[in-house]
Structure 1
Amino acid sequence: MAGGNSTPLNASIVKRHKTGTLVDTHPNRGLRLVARDTGKKTWIYRYKSDSGTTKQIRLGHFPAMSLADARSELGVLKELRNSGTDPRESAAKKKEQRRLDAIVDTGPFTFDKMVDVYLSERVDKQRKPKGAAETRRLLERDLAPIAKIPVENTDLLQIHTLVAKIHSRAPDVARVFRRELKASWEYAMNVGRTKSPCLINADTGAKMKQGKRVRALNKAEVGELLNWMPMNYSQTVTDALILTLYLGLRSGEVCLMHDRELISEGHVLWLNIPGSRMKTGKAHRVPIVGKALKVVERRRGSGYLFRSRSGGAIKQKVLGVEVYSHSGRSSSKNYENNSICPVSNWAPNDLRKTARTLLASMECPFEVGESILAHALPGVAGVYNLHTYDQEKVRWLGMLGDRLDRLSENTTVGAI
């Protein structure tokens, strides 16, 4: 059993220990020896993190790791902790690096190894979890045809054929796949994993250029869509799209709305989005008025306003998938019985463009419109103009809501 030892551990005590936990004393406080009924003895370093939670790291097994070795390793980990580094995170990084080194050192350096190194050493460290996971999924899904080919033995035709096949199915996916595969190859060269020069260029697969969406719904389409959505989309997707349109928010920002971000000030309910959730990195305040207020009041009270079945927030792609499933563009049998939206060729984020376009048509001042969308003002105005435009946001979002309501009232389904 664990206890408050008044004397430090020694080799004899450690050797005789049968079951339970022994704890060491200062200056090796935190070191423990856990002995199981099976006879297995494990060295553990237990400590408190900066947040106050208890964490522990397995150092090794006795007798392969002696008391002296365990104390030496303990000293290294304590130094890390004193320098502000979480020892367990450091240990996890070392373990991952050993895994990568073992992969690279075993057999030829194939494309799947190259991609694994790039994802683990570059992407996972430098991108947000959502973006890193999506990059991993995209690369690993389509890599199979060249995965086991040594990088040094490949030729451009193999890669060209693969990218061209992806392009025939999904041009945007092919563009990103080619870009990330090229980046992984260049990274492998830069860190000395391979000496083979990257063969990927702008012609590999096909000439590809990212399409820039400039779609904004016209007034008739807005009215038609507002009437059509409640009868065809789920309540969750309908509500999320309404908030995107009525508040000018990004659909991803809507999906992550939480009760704790809603604060009443005077007669106005405000959504206070922290900078960590914003694309710009700066906090954003949005007044919830009109129809948007009715949606929020109905959904608030249980944490995330748009909860998934697993308890967290729904993913942004949920909105895109439902919009696409009713677009008539899919050949999937899963969607063949879905009603077709009368407004064609639009995506959830186009509603944000629509909101900004309507504000401009109503002669909303440029600075107010940009502030509503959380855009940084261009030039020196973005540096010197620190006005928050809170009252102006309340006024113009209220006017936008009234305009949208009128468009809905004056349009019937099938009018387009």
Structure 2
Amino acid sequence: MGKLTDLDIRNWMRSGERFEQRGDGDGVYLCFPARFAVPVWKLRYRFAGKPRTVNLGSYRDLSIADARKTAKELRARVALGYDVAGEKQERKREAVAKIEAEKAVITMGALADDYFSSQILGRWKHPNIVRSRIENDIKPNIGKLAIGEIRPTHVDAMLKAIVRRGAPTMANDVLRWVKRMFDYAIKRQMISFNPAAAFDLADAGGKEESRDRWLTRSELAALFAAMRSARGWNIENGLTVKLLLLLAVRKGELIQARVSEFDLDAAVWYLPADRTKTGAAIDIPLPNQAVACLRELVRLGNGSGWLLPARKMQERMVPHIDLNTVGAALAKNIKPLMPGAENFTLHDFRRTARTHLAALGVAPHIGERCLNHAIKGVEGIYNQHDFFDERREALQKWADLLDVIAGDEQGKVVPLRPAKMA
């Protein structure tokens, strides 16, 4: 039989004719058994006196000319003493071993998830704080690296990146958590050393000191003016900032809130114990301005059970916005419009409210309860009155003052209610 032709091969394929081999010469032949969808090229040769066969590829991938050229190159290697079939099998074994090895590699992201599931979830009162550090800082910086490949230089670069964005306290938190995660991996024989072990707070955000930052009336007026004019600043972020100021609550308490916790008709927020720092539930009186903001957030949530639902699909699969979403937007869109103001954070709003409450003549123990601080000393032990009515009066005074402050730059009172209500 002569050389094969494309016409012959296509006719065999069209008619469904099957065969074990049709020769093309020089050891090259075509194989088309019933189990193959497309004919396959093969090369017969002898090595060390024994017959050998190697696959060249399918007819779909190799034309007749390509199959003959490949066979010629392989015969040349055989002539030089190489077993080309054995080489191909070895390459296949190496590829399979590499794939299996890659599957077995534990990345920092996987370690962080494992640590969170086994050591944090169900054990820590506020696990989402740790989850936030994992998703916002650890994974973006070193999450894709195999834990065995992470070196101190990687840890150092991550910490410096967090400090550069103006979050030294978070850099300290991240250092503490990655140290614990690497120790966890050592105990389970995943790695043999902790690449973060040599670092201390001086290498991250530095020694932490109690903050005393609060915003003055003029700074608050500048903040409201910036929120009215900033580009890229959405209404949900603005309402969140207003509520944090109006209610003096912690950002996690508000961001993780469910709509069902609020009775807007009665103007009360029933904050459950499992989401307070003190571990005690508290009923928070809502000033009129806060009720208006909350109604607008509920409307914008479009039926969500969360006050601040997640705005897009994300890997972390948390149903509400991230704890850093509003703070990051504040740093990006608002603070550049307040060049004369010293740096401040969302948490400083609590100190701001407390300071202005005192200036309004609110009694210290009422001001402390407005921040859900326990009353200290013997009085705190024996006096279990929650001062709900007094807190309502105090927070309403504070809300009315914020209305005045919001209008300072325009020379008129600007209510802290949304511009449009449903």
Structure 1 contact 224–342 (Cα < 8 Å) conserved: no
Cross-structure match for 2:160: 168
Any conservation in 2 of the 1:111–1:147 contact (CA below 8 Å)?
yes
Measured against aligned partners, the alpha-carbon deviations of 1:222-255 in whole angstroms (never above 9, x if no partner) come to: 1222233233332211111111111112233233
Q: Percent identity?
A: 23
1:182 positional shift:
2.1
Equivalent positions of 1:228-247 (< 5 A) are: 228-232=226-230, 233-247=233-247
2:358 matched residue in structure 1: 360
* Deviation per residue, 1:21-72 (Å, 9 max, x gap): xxxxxxxxxxxxxxxxxxxxxxxxxxxxxxxxxxxxxxxxxxxxxxxxxxxx
Q: Which residue of 2 aligns with 1:261?
A: 261
1:400 aligned counterpart, secondary structure = helix
CA distance in 1, matches of 2:186, 2:256: 39
* Structure 1 counterpart SS, 2:267: strand
| CA distance in 2: counterparts of 1:235 and 1:134, whole angstroms | 23
Instruction: Tell me what 2:197 maps to.
Output: 200
The match for 1:54 is none
Matches within 5 A, 1:203-218: 203=200, 206=203, 208-210=206-208, 212-218=210-216
Which residue of structure 2 aligns with residue 76 of structure 1? none
Q: Is the 8 A contact 1:271 1:288 kept in 2?
A: yes
CA contact (8 A) 1:251 1:348 kept: yes
**CA-CA distance at 1:271 after TM superposition:** 1.2
SS at match of 1:286: strand
Name 2:329's counterpart in structure 1: 322
Cα offset for 1:146? 7.0
Query: How much has 1:113 moved relative to structure 2?
Result: 8.1
Q: Provide the rounded CA distance (Å) in 2 between the counterparts of 1:255 and 1:109.
A: 32
Amino acid at match of 2:367: G
- Partner of 1:372 in structure 2? 370
For 1:392 and 1:322, locate their aligned partners in 2 and report how far apart those are by CA, in whole Å. Answer: 34
Corresponding residue number in structure 2 for 1:3 = none
8 Å CA contact 1:222, 1:407 repeated in 2: yes
Asked if 2 retains the 8 angstrom alpha-carbon contact of 1:163 and 1:205, the reply is: no
Gaps of 5+ in 1: 1-102, 330-338
Checking the alignment, whether the CA contact within 8 Å between 2:374 and 2:380 is kept in structure 1 is: yes
Q: How big is each residue's C-alpha offset from its partner over 1:265-315, in whole Å with a ceiling of 9 and x where there is no partner?
A: 8xx511111112222222121111232232234444644443444595433
Q: Structure 1 residues 367 and 412, CA, compared in 2 at 3 Å: closer, same or farther?
A: same
Tell me the residue number matched to 1:306: 308
- The CA deviation string for residues 357-413 of structure 1, in whole angstroms up to 9 with x for no partner, is 101222311211111111122234333221110110111111112222222333349
Residue 143 (1) aligns with residue 150 (2): no
Q: Deviations for 1:159-208, whole angstroms, at most 9, x for unmatched residues?
A: 1x333323332233543343223223433455676775887135598263
Give the TM-score normalised by structure 2: 0.58
The 5 Å alignment of 1:106-185 reads: 118-124=115-121, 126-127=123-124, 128-137=126-135, 138-143=137-142, 147=146, 149=148, 158-159=151-152, 161-171=153-163, 172=168, 174-185=171-182
Structure 1 residue 111: Cα displacement: 7.5
- Matched with 1:98 is none
Partner Cα distance (1:120, 1:205) in 2: 30
Partner of 2:67: none
What is the rounded CA distance, in whole Å, between the counterparts of 2:310 and 2:287 in structure 1? 25
Q: 2:351 corresponds to which letter in structure 1?
A: K
Q: Which amino acid aligns with 1:323?
A: L
> What is the TM-score normalised by the length of structure 1?
0.58
Aligned to 2:288: 290
The alpha-carbon deviation at position 112 of structure 1 amounts to 7.9
Q: What is residue 344 of structure 2 aligned with on the other side?
A: 346
- The residue matched to 1:315 in structure 2 has which SS? coil
Distance 1:163 1:213, change over 3 A: farther
User: In structure 2, what is the Cα distance between the partners aligned to 1:369 and 1:300?
Assistant: 28
Q: Give the secondary-structure state (helix, strand or coil) at the position aligned to 1:170.
A: helix
Please list, as runs of the form range in 1=range in 2, the aligned pairs for 1:48-127 lying within 5 A after superposition: 118-124=115-121, 126-127=123-124
Q: CA RMSD in A?
A: 3.8
Structure 1 counterpart of 2:235, one-letter code: Q
